[in-house]
Amino acid sequence: MKLKKLKVQNFRAYQTETEISFSNMTGLIGRNDVGKTSILDALGIFFGHKLCKYEAGDKCVYAGENEDVIITCEFEELPQEIVLDATSVTSLDREYLLTDGGTLSLSKVFKKGKGSGAYMANCVHPSARNAKGILLKKNDELKSIAQSLGIAAEDNRSNVSLREAIYDAVGDLKLKEQSVALSKEDGKAILEQIQNHLPHFALFRADRPSTDEEAEVQDPMKVAISQAIEDISPQLEDIKDQVKQRALTVANSTLSHLADLDPELAMSLTPDFKADPKWEGIFKLSLAGDDDIPINKRGSGVRRLVLISFFKAEAERIKREYQDRGVIYAIEEPENSQHPDKQKLLVEAFSEMADKDGCQIVITTHVPALAEQLPIKSIRHIFKNQDGEIEVNSNQDDVFKLIAKDLGVLPDSRAQVIVCVEGPNDIAFFKNLSALLLDEGHMAPDFENDPRIVLLPLGGDTLRDWVNGHYLKNIGKPEVHIYDRDDQNPPKYQETCDAVNARGDGSIAFITSKREAENYLHPDAIQEALNISVTYTDDCDVPSLVGAALGVNDRTAKRRLNRVAAKKMTKERLDGRDPDGEILGWFNEILQRCS
């Protein structure tokens, strides 16, 4: 199951119902104390996370005394069936528990802002006589309804079978939008099964102590120890038996000597092992550097990096063990105590995780350096309007302007040439190739450090790209466009390429002679980086071939090729794949436009 939306009402600062949409990667952006953490806490309360306990004080202070606190999550990619018992297999659709859009919407309702909360399904549900509310009826009650309708179910012992027969007999169920309590009988049973399919919610807070004794660190380490113990359990059983035998020999010898002194006492004593050894408690795993300094004595930035890494490991373990469930990985202010270079690496790591099936990433931030690296489609801007009410906006042009102004994300005014490519993978490809050429002493644009050159993906993939794109398109700087040929004839961007070349303003455009950027990578670089051997031509779909060899989707393969394999390229390998110097020609055109 995948989280699609969250709605909160009367929860902390969110009085009116506020909706937030979620994608594979979601960045909650806004100033301090605007309500970002409350969103993570609302999710934690809904999923029953141990760190998020609902308290009466969480009710909005402006809500009426009799008003409820409601936290609603909407899900897609739902299970095909729900197994209540051996004879009762049903589905959310057959039980009329879905919205008109085919999603599952569950609300956790705290009546008058009190209690532990009860779950409701917001769905298009029957309201006709004899069909209304039958999800909450006992077997005898369902049999009575069936008898009154003069029908018989295939299996009168099965509530599922009885409900289906009743639905068929009623005919017009008068379906309407309503909230159905999942509090008893099969409603409760279905809720329990739904909860087994809900994504696992993993939360990392910004304000926790960061030591290797913390649960988030100890849990995966304990799991590692448990798995190791399980793997060698036969050997450990032998050790246990040997220890017992030797100990019993000593005990029996002691009793023998005791019998010489007090036979009656010796007869009353028997060697006995009260419990088997708990191997997990014997081993304690910690982390220390080469200088034997433990992790809890290191700097806060190092501690947070290690904790996030352990947290990621635990989330991935849960994903492996519960393959039919998703994982929502929520991180509050991951930039805390991190150098800007590490912030960039964190965003890249989160993006790679978000590419995995069944994995969603949610982060909060108010730092421009991190916010500008996020994909603009992932951004949800949280702010207070003129009336002091919290609003959440996303994917609107004016929203990005507001975010840039709110957080202080500024365009780079030093730009002299704009290099336009198709997407972020192309940016990684060109950055890595230029870096290797510069390291070997060859002429190449320094995409990473030269402020005169702006690499811009079409459409503005990140907030920084969007800001630069909106600023630079109106200042008349020359552009160098590089597009993939792909497998289309004519190429998809042929008309765009021709239009750029016809401008007469110093701009120039190219279409790759090979299928796409990955076809310029040398097989040796791919083998060295990814430990696989692939054979391909200029026209092959390299990401697809690599994805099949690695057992990952094409998107993940493409990311690894451009971010990992490209770093293993050399000038010799580049010449082997690009003997005509096509890429060097592009780089030369870029350098010529830098004054």
**Angle between helix 215-231 and helix 300-321 axes, rounded to 10 deg:** 50
Pair of tokens at residue 478: 């020359």
User: Per residue, what are the HEC states of 90-114?
Assistant: ECCCCCCCCCCCCCEEEEEEEHHHC
Is the domain of 576 the same as that of 429? yes
Is the domain of 361 the same as that of 467? no
| DSSP sequence for 162-190 | HHHHHHHHH-----EEEEEE--SHHHHHH
Interior CA angle at 271 toward 269 and 273, to 5°? 135
Is the domain of 373 the same as that of 428? no
Residue-wise pLDDT tens digits, 57-91: 999 999 999 999 999 999 999 998 888 766 688 99
Is the domain of 100 the same as that of 222? no
Is the domain of 400 the same as that of 423? no
- State the total domains in the chain: 3
Is the domain of 277 the same as that of 249? yes
Domain range spanning residue 468?
417-592
Residue 380: DSSP 8-state: E
Residue 289: DSSP 8-state: -
Residue-wise pLDDT tens digits, 389-426: 888 876 555 666 777 777 666 666 788 888 889 888 99
Is the domain of 509 the same as that of 566? yes
Is the domain of 104 the same as that of 76? yes
Name the one residue in this structure whose structure tokens are 């304990």: 222
- Report how far residue 199's alpha carbon sits from residue 329's, in angstroms, rounded to the nearest whole number: 10
- Does position 344 have pLDDT exceeding 80, yes or no? no
- Report how far residue 139's alpha carbon sits from residue 141's, in angstroms, rounded to the nearest whole number: 5
- Report how far residue 189's alpha carbon sits from residue 185's, in angstroms, rounded to the nearest whole number: 6
Distances from the Cα of 331 to the Cα of 39, 88, 335, 347, 475, angstroms: 12, 39, 10, 11, 38
Mean pLDDT estimate for the chain: 84
pLDDT score at 154: 86
Cβ(421)–Cβ(453) below 8 Å:
no
| 443 is a domain residue | yes
Give 238's pLDDT tier (boundaries 50, 70, 90). Answer: confident
Is the domain of 244 the same as that of 260? yes
Is the domain of 494 the same as that of 571? yes
pLDDT score at 409: 67
- Report how far residue 171's alpha carbon sits from residue 173's, in angstroms, rounded to the nearest whole number: 6
Give per-residue burial for 270-285: e unless 16+ CB within 10 Å, then b: eeeeeeeeebeeeeee
Is the domain of 351 the same as that of 486? no
| 252 is a domain residue | yes
- Does position 155 have pLDDT exceeding 90, yes or no? no
Distances from the Cα of 467 to the Cα of 84, 273, 345, 371, 472, angstroms: 52, 71, 21, 12, 9
| 474 is a domain residue | yes
- Does position 586 have pLDDT exceeding 90, yes or no? yes
Lowest-pLDDT range of 217-231, 359-373, 486-500, 511-525: 217-231
Query: Which among 285, 316, 338 is the end of a domain?
Result: 285
